[in-house]
A and B are shown apart, each in its own frame.
Chain A
Amino acid sequence: MTIKQSRPPFDASTIPGGLCPIATHLTTMLPGDWRAERPIVDRDSCVKCATCWMYCPVQCITEHAAWFEADLRVCKGCGICATECPHRAIVMLEETK
């Protein structure tokens, strides 16, 4: 996935290396790249109450026709949604690869 910066990156070439930790280019890594567990929504149990949507700290819950689920590129696997879901519709599954 490519990300566009809203302003052109600042040219840091005049600043000596090793002076001060700064970064001028966006990393393309997303929280999903280091997730250890993924939330799986049971579509039959989900009632679209949006509790998970409210609690998700990275705001990655997306709405679908009859259920809500996480955008797995962004989901960091914290499991807050699974704990908060009043219908126990979310289970956390270990990432295997």
Chain B
Amino acid sequence: MITAKTIVCDGNEAAAWGAVLSRPDMVAVYPITPQSSLAEYLSQFIADGILDAELLDVEGEHSVLSVLHGAALAGARTYTATCGQGLAFMFEPYFRTPPLRLPIVTSLVTRDGITPQCVWGGQQDAMTVKDVGWVHMYCETVQEVLDTLIMAYRIAEHRQVMLPVNVNHDGNYLSYGVCRMELPGQAEVDAFLGPKDINWHVALDPDRPMAVDPLTGGAGGPGPALFVSYRKGLCDGMQHALRVIEEVHDEWALRFGRRWAPLVEEYKLDDADFAIVTIGSMTGAAKDAVDQARARGERVGLIKVKTFRPFPIEAMVRAVSKVEALGVVDRAVSFGWNSGPLHQEVLGALYYGRRPIPAISFIGGLAGADLTVGHFRRVIEQTAAARWTGPGQAPIWLNEND
């Protein structure tokens, strides 16, 4: 039985520990950089008897998620991790997981997209699959990776959610970044998670004969209305998830003493004139840059997005209503908008909040490039200036002259 202790580990090991403590019945993983060491930690934990789970060595990510579909339909708690091209290969069952309402938890060790050929961090992979109904939560620190992974099961398996959850941590910077981490005890995690009930609503079970995913839709008969009811049900589940994510983070704080902003974190925002918007591990350097700017007397704040899907519109509207200009930093590209995907979400929130303030798109940290305090100093300077000049149309590429 694992007892609470302090360990030193990287983000991939933290995710593996999070999986161990959540006691999945079945794990399937296919290694891919920068997730590979996570797969190795899991295999070792299972080999050593620390995790009592079936480990499936399948031939690729498409099979990884497909066998986990079967396992979840049979009532198993399941876990996997992937990224980049592995996630691309997984997409066909990935696309089907949310409407099947299977509460599968998957770490995305985010990696930039090929091509050009690269094996380093970036959020292009996760951002590319953001709109098929998985919950996406981005972590800032190694400790948050572990804590969020365990919370993810509570969120996924909530009766009003019943959706798969991606817990995302930045490839390289979090996957290999080593630091101190508090490991909770198994008994406390068991009490937090409670009994599992994975397939009460859809099952492969001879005692409850049912057809799973029969042909639905078409132009006549009950098809159109039935199809709409499933689409609306999935949207409802996503909206319920916003509330459940907050409740689960509150309970985690009460039980384990660590409080993470569940949806959107506001950092030094209340008296800020303008703010930068971040996501993931870049936030650490960004907060340092905000602290330095504050010391120089600049009234700058920071808004960090943790929950990207479902997008926390209300929390974001509340946050952006406090400032007069925004600099949004993306670690991925929206080719369709010539900006970053988070930038587009923020523009949407500004419309909801009826606040047409300047919001500049910054793109950096692609393919493993570092986002330093120096980069964020530039973000802060240019966002401050945007209050008077307005945003330019094109994104600012932070590593262009590195």
- Please give the residue numbers on chain A whose beta carbons come within 8 Å of chain B beta carbons, in ascending order: 5, 7, 9-10, 12, 15-24
The one of A5, A7, A19, A22 in contact with B212, judged by C-beta atoms closer than 8 angstroms, is A22
Using CB atoms, name the residue of chain B closest to A22. B210
Interchain CB contact under 8 A, A10 and B209: yes
Interchain CB contact under 8 A, B209 and A18: no
Chain A binding surface SS class: loop
Residues of A within 8 A of B233 (CB): 16-20
Q: A19-B101, A21-B99, A21-B216 are in contact. Are A12 and B230 (CB under 8 A)?
A: no
Q: List 26 A-B contacts (CB under 8 A).
A: A5-B209, A9-B209, A10-B209, A10-B210, A15-B200, A16-B201, A16-B233, A18-B229, A18-B232, A18-B236, A19-B162, A19-B201, A20-B101, A20-B162, A20-B233, A21-B99, A21-B212, A21-B214, A21-B216, A22-B202, A22-B211, A23-B210, A23-B211, A24-B209, A24-B210, A24-B211
Q: What string of 1s and 0s marks CB contacts (under 8 Å) between B157-184 and chain A?
A: 0000010000000000000000000000
Inter-chain residue pair count (beta carbon < 8 A): 54
- Judged by a CB distance under 8 angstroms, whether B48 is at the interface is no
Residues of A within 8 A of B210 (CB): 10, 12, 22-24
Interchain CB contact under 8 A, B99 and A20: yes
Residues of B within 8 A of A23 (CB): 210-211, 214
Interchain CB contact under 8 A, B214 and A18: no
Contact size range, B = 20 to 34
Q: What string of 1s and 0s marks CB contacts (under 8 Å) between B223-267 and chain A?
A: 000000110110011000000000000000000000000000000
Interchain CB contact under 8 A, B230 and A18: yes
A47 to chain B, nearest CB (A): 39
